[in-house]
A and B are shown apart, each in its own frame.
Chain A
């Protein structure tokens, strides 16, 4: 069974950092692009970043470029999102998702990041 489990969320002050993890199981991670998508409380979905199969290609939405870094460790079956210089508008549930080709077919349950002083 395909599973994605996010962790690492929590409460952080503006300007702080967090590292989110997405543990994958039930499939071979290096066969897939992976995405991070977030959802602010009561709001819609926002695509944040993705990474290609070998980790050589990483893409970001403008609002996080230069502050967030996506990475993967296929040996550990994990994808990460390092988030620095956090702002209040980064407050959201962060989901990781698997991409078999032009869609996200499996999603984790999400991890909540709250940025507040």
Chain B
């Protein structure tokens, strides 16, 4: 099974500053057949279901602010919030869709410093 490891577990960032979250898979999640990395990012606020932010590692879901961006390939991926807003306080998860079980990372809690 593919294991997803996120870092850090938590981070505190000042409003307007950049937040960077890392996600590493135990094996490559790049499909050569479709030339895509099958890595997805979600945001979850307390008491709410997860919300899709990014899929295929770097494709932003419709309606997601452009301060959210995803990058990386193979086994190493990054979610960047370019200018943290108060409403971005949440837990962020990565998930791989390369193979079942579609494992999630352990989550990264983002707070305001």
Q: CB-CB < 8 A to B91: which residues of A?
A: 44
CA distance A9 to B18 in the complex (A): 40
Residues 62-88 of A, flagged 1 when their CB comes within 8 A of B and 0 if not, give: 100000000000000000000000000
CA distance A95 to B106 in the complex (A): 17
Closest to B101 in A: A61
Q: CB-CB < 8 A to A107: which residues of B?
A: 49-51
Q: Number of contacting residues on B, CB 8 A?
A: 26
Interface assignment of A50: CB less than 8 Å from any CB of chain B: yes
**CB within 8 Å: A-B pair count:** 58
Residue contact A45 to B40, C-beta cutoff 8 Å: no
Residue contact A59 to B101, C-beta cutoff 8 Å: yes
**Which one, A11-19, A22-30, A98-106, is touching chain B?**
A98-106
Give min CB distance, A20 to chain B, whole Å.
Answer: 15
Q: Tell me the A residues contacting B by CB distance below 8 Å.
A: 35, 37, 44-47, 50, 59-62, 95, 102-105, 107-110
